Amino acid sequence: MGDTFPRGRTAVVGSATFGVGEMPGYSALEIAANAVRRALADADISLPEVDGLFIALPDDLFGGLSLAQYLGIHPRFTDNNRAGGASFMSHLVTAVMMLDAGYLDCAVIAYGANQRSSGGKLSTPARPDRWDAPYAPMYPLSFYALAAARHMHQYGTTREQLAEVAVAARGWANTNPEAFAKGPLSVEDVLSSRMISTPISARDCCLVTDGGAALVLTRMDRARDCPQPSVPILGAAAATWYNSLTQAEDVTVTAAAESGPRAMAMAGVTPAEIDVVQLYDAFTINTVLFLEDLGFCAKGEGGAFVSGGRIAPGGTLPVNTNGGGLSCCHPGMYGMFAMTEAVRQMRGTAANQIDGAKIALAHGNGGTLSAQATVIFGAPGTA
Amino acid sequence: MTGAAQVWDEALAQGRFLLQRPQGGGKAVFPPRELAPGTGGDLEWFEASGRGTVYSVTWIQRRPPEAPYNVVLVDLEEGARMMGRVEGVTEESLRIGMAVRARIAEGPLVVFNPVQEGQG
């Protein structure tokens, strides 16, 4: 047993973002609350109907309690699960199971942050553990750098190939009105940007922006009453192998190699059947690692895979069609935005809509490549 | 009686670099634990050889005139992995796969030095 999933029996009926980019003068909670209001309006569901509340805020360990208070509701269940940027996909797993079991009727998953306006630096309560800390790694950046350096050593991956990831993301961002970073970006621009922790330079890193997002989930029978085409949830799985990357058996293989195949098995799809892919690209190496681990190419071939514009606009595999964390937005934890973009693609309303897309994958990453979670969405009517 | 982490700290303060392994043998365990990871069995302490190999490396850049410094992952000969720093090397000379040896520096802190050819 294990991995029993109510394929297609729950759906996203409301989805919204708020304040993506810069939202000066707003707190994280205010941004999250506005995203919730918009998502509920999208679903035509009233606030008192929300009985499940799921949130991880960057600076509030009890974020779920704060949001319940702020919204003035008494949820049957509140979840502050903190798995970094993968929290929200983990929230979705719990919400789907509780909705299908009838414990909940309407779940909201939310996020908000004001990291750009409140200081412009990534703010996280997470720190290196006491065994790593004395060596003063940058957290989390140096951990990703250690994974990238090993990937380059083991498979011959190059900085040029990593740069292709950033260039592709910018290509998508340039035609997305919501994206924060726009303008030309070349492989050479990435290579010549300031080195931070080798081999990761400034343009290999995600943005620091403000922004919030929220999803409203309910059972499919109820979803039919909602005004928007409901987006069925076909599969979802979370996997955790460690907290510090130091303790990874192989730093070039993440737990996405577990969460991805499990979520796809629940959904009954293979990588070849996935039309659009949204990955948590905190750094350019993430996209390479996750494309390998999720099965879009073989381990070690990610660098070659992302080259030649394959994941850029016009390429054969659309990845991070909003511009991703690298060029659309990255308000501290990006997981929600991978899901809201996947939902837009399934509804047919994305700024960079992929014609005929029927299956979308959204993948979240948390910690130092530690927590991984994958969700498979279907186009309305496919479940 | 104290927890495994404190046992390790106290040994280090006395100039001993300890590791653990499952009773009856197996791959070394670090950081110190109260139980064998994956099985829940008992662990025993032993003195690390200090020999290891650089598994990955990053150089953290700082605003000049501050020099960059390295952070490495080291595969210890007995099978555990730990974060560390390699002393007396440059960005050009420090390579993945390089043989290193642990020493206890001020702190106390385990740091690594390159092993010269013919030594070990």
Q: How far is B61 from chain A (nearest CA, A)?
A: 5
In terms of CA atoms, which chain A residue is nearest residue B83? Answer: A132
What single letter denotes the amino acid at residue A133? A
Contact list, A197 vs chain B (CB under 8 Å): 58-61, 71
Q: What is the pLDDT of residue A125?
A: 77
Contact list, A155 vs chain B (CB under 8 Å): none
Q: Which residues of B56-83 are buried (b: 16+ CB within 10 A; e: fewer)?
A: bbbbbbeeeeeeeebbbbbbbbbebbbb
Q: What is the pLDDT of residue A211?
A: 97
Mutation target to probe the B interface, by most B beta carbons within 10 A, among A127, A198, A204 is A198
Nearest by CB to B83, which of A132, A197, A199? A132
Q: Is the pLDDT of residue A370 over 60?
A: yes
In terms of CA atoms, which chain B residue is nearest residue A252? Answer: B56
Question: Can you tell me the mean pLDDT for A17-35?
Answer: 96
CB contact under 8 A, A146 and B58: yes
Q: What is the pLDDT of residue B1?
A: 81
Question: Can you tell me the mean pLDDT for A332-354?
Answer: 97
Contact list, A199 vs chain B (CB under 8 Å): 58
Residue whose entry in the numeric block shows the structure tokens 């011959």: A156
Q: Is the pLDDT of residue A382 over 90?
A: no
Provide the pLDDT confidence category of residue B118 given band limits of 50, 70 and 90: low
Nearest Cα neighbor of A368 from A279, A205, A242 is: A242
Q: Cα–Cα distances in Å, from B79 out to A250, B32, B45?
A: 13, 14, 14
How many CA atoms are closer than 13 Å to the CA of A17, on its beta-carbon side?
27
Question: Can you tell me the mean pLDDT for A287-303?
Answer: 98
Nearest Cα neighbor of A369 from A237, A262, A280 is: A280
In terms of CA atoms, which chain B residue is nearest residue A251? Answer: B56
Q: What is the pLDDT of residue A272?
A: 98
Question: Can you tell me the mean pLDDT for A328-347?
Answer: 97
Q: Is the pLDDT of residue B108 over 90?
A: yes
d(CA A113, CA A330): 9
Q: Is the pLDDT of residue A87 over 90?
A: yes
Give the lowest-confidence range in A59-63, A270-274, A295-299, B49-53.
A59-63
Nearest by CB to A135, which of B31, B61, B71? B71
How many residues can be counted in chain B? 120
Question: Can you tell me the mean pLDDT for A54-65?
Answer: 93
Q: Is the pLDDT of residue A351 over 60?
A: yes
CB contact under 8 A, A134 and B71: no
Nearest by CB to A149, which of B5, B56, B83? B56
In terms of CA atoms, which chain A residue is nearest residue B97? Answer: A153
Nearest by CB to A146, which of B5, B56, B85? B56
Tell how strand A210-219 and strand A371-378 pair up.
unpaired
pLDDT in tens, B11-47: 999 999 999 999 989 999 999 999 999 999 999 999 9
Q: What is the pLDDT of residue A92?
A: 98
CB contact under 8 A, A246 and B73: yes
In terms of CA atoms, which chain A residue is nearest residue B58? Answer: A198
d(CA B111, CA A208): 34
Q: Is the pLDDT of residue A130 over 60?
A: yes
Q: Is the pLDDT of residue B120 over 60?
A: no
Question: Can you tell me the mean pLDDT for A286-302?
Answer: 98
Question: Can you tell me the mean pLDDT for A316-337?
Answer: 97
pLDDT in tens, A242-262: 999 999 999 999 999 999 999
Burial, B119: exposed, middle or buried (Cβ in 10 Å; 0-12, 13-18, 19+)? exposed
Q: What is the pLDDT of residue A119?
A: 80
Q: What is the pLDDT of residue B119?
A: 57
Q: How far is B109 from chain A (nearest CA, A)?
A: 8
The domain defined by A10-120+207-378 folds into Peroxisomal Thiolase; Chain A, domain 1 (3.40.47)
Question: Can you tell me the mean pLDDT for B78-87?
Answer: 98
In degrees, rounded to 5, the angle at the alpha carbon of residue A315 between the alpha carbons of residues A86 and A294 is 35
User: Which domains does chain B possess?
Assistant: 1-47 (no CATH), 49-120 (2.40.50.840)
> Please, what is the average pLDDT of chain A?
96
Provide the pLDDT confidence category of residue B71 given band limits of 50, 70 and 90: very high
